[in-house]
Chain A
Amino acid sequence: MSKANLLDRRAVVSELLRDRKGAFAVGGLGASTYDIAAAGDHDRNFYLWGGMGGAVMIGLGLALAQPTLPVVVITGDGEMLMGMGSLATVALQQPKNLSMIVLDNEAYGETGGQASHTGGTADLAGVAKACGIADSRAISTMAEVEAFASSLQDVTTGPRFASAKIDGTNLERVLSSRDGTYIVNRIRGSIGHTPI
């Protein structure tokens, strides 16, 4: 199902995290977590292997707790569709340091490539904007990805949302740790919190 002119998901995520500095990266379950792992393990990577629909809310909790550090949620269209209400919740809070990007392959890639709503009628950037996230856009070029990557470092102008149409080809899985306690305690350790 590879189409011309669609973005390569690994190239997108690699660019988003290339010069991440202190940013936290939250990945939705499935391919976006593999993409984040493929860009390189990091103690501020928040890998999800479940909790579908929760990625944006995890990003919000983290962003509110650490308002001076950038938080970027990188998730898929299916995961975002399941947690669409969280865009309204984010908009109400207006966390300046939170960025969200959906890697939209218009399909549930992890379960066999069944069509998702974004390939039909749903427009996630439109949803985000209508919820009250003023800086919401559809992006389709690497230049726009680069611009998004640098804007996510600005913790005074969020929240921002982008939806990027990506090539739906399933890539080799790059498996991150799936030990949740390790993942969370490593993030906490990176900001100076010791175990209980």
Chain B
Amino acid sequence: MHARAESAASWPEEIFSILQRFEVRQVPYVPDAGHSELIERVLGSSSMRGIALTTEEEGVALLAGAWAGGQRGVLLMQSSGVGNCINMLSLVQIFRLPFLTLVTMRGEWGEFNPWQVPMGSNTQGILELAGIKVLRASRPDEVREVVEAGAAQAYNACTPTAVLLSQRLIGAKVFTK
């Protein structure tokens, strides 16, 4: 079980490898601390294009265009961003997109900031109401298999999927003066 601490540093790297293996090309994102290592990896990659967004719904529309143009993508965002996407998630059903999003969770597991809790508590329900299958990874040693399963069902079966990366996995944000 002590190996867990060692693998903790590398789960974003494992996600990056999975995205590479599935030939993901466009990676729209709104920054989140929990995604920072993966975003850096994407921005340094020659095969993927990291695309900074002003709001998460832009990423849903971008991925529709990418798919029409023959490329796969993945949307990286924080749980609060899911709320920003709601109407645009219509495109996922309408176009039957191979939609994959990786959502870092706030508003749970030791949260300090109450403003994160309403959206964090409803993230999974909102995604499911929008017709998106939800998977969750809470421990470093399960990230690889959960993200791999999510990518496989999204890209191979056009089954829209969100993988929630728990705050327990990422660590609650520490607010200090």
Chain B residues near A196 (CB-CB < 8 A): 98, 156-158
Minimal Cβ-Cβ distance residue in A for B52:
A92
Are A65 and B58 within 8 A (Cβ)?
Answer: no
A180-B94, A184-B95, A196-B156 are contacts. A54–B64 as well, Cβ < 8 Å? Answer: yes
Chain B nearest CB from A85 CB (Å) reads 3
1/0 per residue, CB under 8 A from B, across A175-192: the answer is 000001101100110011
B-chain residues with CB within 8 Å of residue A51 when the two chains form the complex? 61, 64, 87-88, 90-91, 94
Of residues 11 through 60 on chain A, the ones whose CB sits less than 8 Å from some CB of chain B are 24, 26, 46, 50-55, 57-60
The verdict on A126 contacting chain B, using a C-beta distance below 8 Å, is no
A66 near B70 (CB under 8 angstroms)? yes
Q: In the complex, A157→B92 CA distance in Å?
A: 32
Q: A residues 151-196 with Cβ under 8 Å of B?
A: 180-181, 183-184, 187-188, 191-193, 196
The answer to whether B52 touches A181, judged by C-beta atoms less than 8 angstroms apart, is no
Tell me, yes or no, whether B144 is within 8 Å of chain A by CB: no
Scan residues 68-120 of chain B and give those whose CB is less than 8 A from a CB of chain A: 68-71, 73, 87-88, 90-91, 94-96, 98
Tell me the minimal C-beta distance from A98 to chain B in angstroms: 10
B57 adjacent to A58 (CB under 8 Å): no
Tell me whether A184 and B68 are in contact (CB under 8 A): yes
B55 touches A85 (CB 8 A): yes
Query: In the docked arrangement, what's the CA distance between A192 and B70, Å?
Result: 9
Q: Is the CB of A64 within 8 A of B26?
A: yes
- Out of B61, B70, B87, B91, which one reaches A188, CB within 8 Å? B70
A50 to B, closest residue via Cβ? B90
Contact flags B48-70 to A (C-beta < 8 A → 1, else 0): 01011111011111111111111
Does A53 contact B57, Cβ atoms closer than 8 Å?
yes
Identify the closest chain B residue to A49 (Cβ): B94
Within 8 Å of chain A (Cβ to Cβ): is B136?
no
- A114 adjacent to chain B (CB < 8 Å): no
**A191 with B95: CB separation less than 8 A:** no
B96 to chain A, nearest CB (A): 5
Indicate if the CB atoms of A193 and B70 lie closer than 8 Å.
yes
Query: In the docked arrangement, what's the CA distance between A61 and B65, Å?
Result: 4
Q: Which 3 A-B pairs have the closest CB atoms?
A: A61-B65, A65-B69, A85-B54
Q: Which residues of A contact B (CB under 8 A)?
A: 24, 26, 46, 50-55, 57-66, 83, 85-86, 88-89, 92-93, 180-181, 183-184, 187-188, 191-193, 196
* 10 A-B pairs whose Cβ atoms sit less than 8 Å apart in the complex: A50-B87, A51-B90, A57-B59, A57-B65, A61-B67, A64-B51, A89-B54, A92-B52, A184-B64, A187-B68
